[in-house]
Amino acid sequence: MCARYLHNLSMPRSTQLLHKPNNPVSAAMHRAGWLGGKEARYMAHEAPFGELTLTCPDGQMLHRLDWVTDQPVLLLKNVLRLTAPNPGVMTGPGTNSYLVGDPNTGYAAIDPGPADTEHLDRLWRTAGGNIRYIICTHSHPDHSPGAAPLQAMCTQHRHPPPILGLASHASARAHSAFTPDRELEDGERLLLQGNGVTHTLRVMHTPGHAANHLCLVLEEDGLLFSGDHVLNGSTTVIDPPDGNMNDYMQSLEKLLDACVQYHIAFIFPAHGYVLGNLWGEPHDARACISHLKRHRLQREAKILKVMQQHPEASMDDWVKLAYDDVPPRLWTVAMRSLLAHVERIRTFSI
Ligand SMILES: [Zn+2]
């Protein structure tokens, strides 16, 4: 772990995060970490690069990239990640739960994950039981069912931490029904304060993956907690009617604006490694989101072409043609996103 981010408390936090390292490693060069006990090197466009840049900006080789569920990973002095033991096709290495804060301010738990007792117990113990907020980015079963049992563990508080988020819409599937203790407003700021330090999480409503999806900006550090809206190593599924492709694209625009407004350099997704690079460098948070947007628009253009060339064909035919670069085993999932694109295309062509 980089000493700069963990111990250099004399500088403003934003400067700690965003200033250039002493010995900047060019974006064109590789960064190295440990994977499976061996040295692993990555270029700027590869998935683990952002996490290595964040944790070791001077290019040290200190960070372990192995996915572990039995212990927290310290990403910054005020951000820890605990990955739930629910890896799979839809969840990648598992759901990332994040703890934001420090022992003096208490912690916000973002996405407690599934109702897995051992995982929730690890979250609770890592926070020293001092959890002030439990926030769900959305209500899917790999994100929100752990909220209530985690709240029930916080018995030493006279007022247990509230479960915060957005209520599921009528369009959500039955397993995603969710009612928070309190609904979060778009733009609302949640504060963690203690010993002269403040951590501010700003709420951003970002429908698209789910109608009740939100992201959080950690303002002092220029970080984005992106839930499932932006992932590392997998593509966000848009599953209508609760998922909506037009909302998804508009939320991407909103996140791009936020990157500029809050100098967001790194993205902490709910699945996969930290994404990004130092602010203003290639592959920073803005570049990652722009790339995602381009990728979606390219797919949409391909779908439109298939629809125009085969207007009478079925959705089953369209998915094979429009997702011919995707393994057939994923076509069932791709069918949901195809439907979302077709909806958006038809909306715009009316
Ligand atoms: Zn998820």
What is the DSSP track for 174-216? Answer: GGG----SEEPPTT-EEEEEETTEEEEEEEEE--SSSTT-EEE
Least confident span in 24-33, 100-109, 139-148, 150-159: 24-33
Look up residue 325 and give its two tokens: 């670069």
Asked whether the predicted pLDDT for residue 5 surpasses 60, the reply is no
Q: pLDDT-derived band of residue 26, with 50, 70 and 90 as boundaries?
A: low
Q: How far is the CA of 199 from the centre of ligand 1 (A)?
A: 25
Nearest-angstrom CA–CA distance, 350 and 346? 6
Q: What is the pLDDT of residues 255-269, one digit of tens each?
A: 999 999 999 999 999
Nearest-angstrom CA–CA distance, 262 and 255? 10
Least confident span in 146-160, 203-217, 224-238: 146-160
Domain 65-281 carries which CATH code? 3.60.15.10
pLDDT at 233: 87
Q: How far is the CA of 95 from the centre of ligand 1 (A)?
A: 6
Look up residue 30 and give its two tokens: 């590789």
Asked whether the predicted pLDDT for residue 60 surpasses 60, the reply is yes
pLDDT at 22: 52
Q: How far is the CA of 271 from the centre of ligand 1 (A)?
A: 7
Q: What is the pLDDT of residues 70-95, one digit of tens each?
A: 999 999 999 999 999 999 988 999 99
Q: What is the pLDDT of residues 292-335, one digit of tens each?
A: 999 999 999 999 999 999 999 999 999 999 999 999 998 998 99
Q: How far is the CA of 205 from the centre of ligand 1 (A)?
A: 16
Pick 26 or 9 by higher pLDDT: 26
pTM for this predicted structure: 0.91
Helix residue ranges, H only, 71-154: 117-126, 147-153
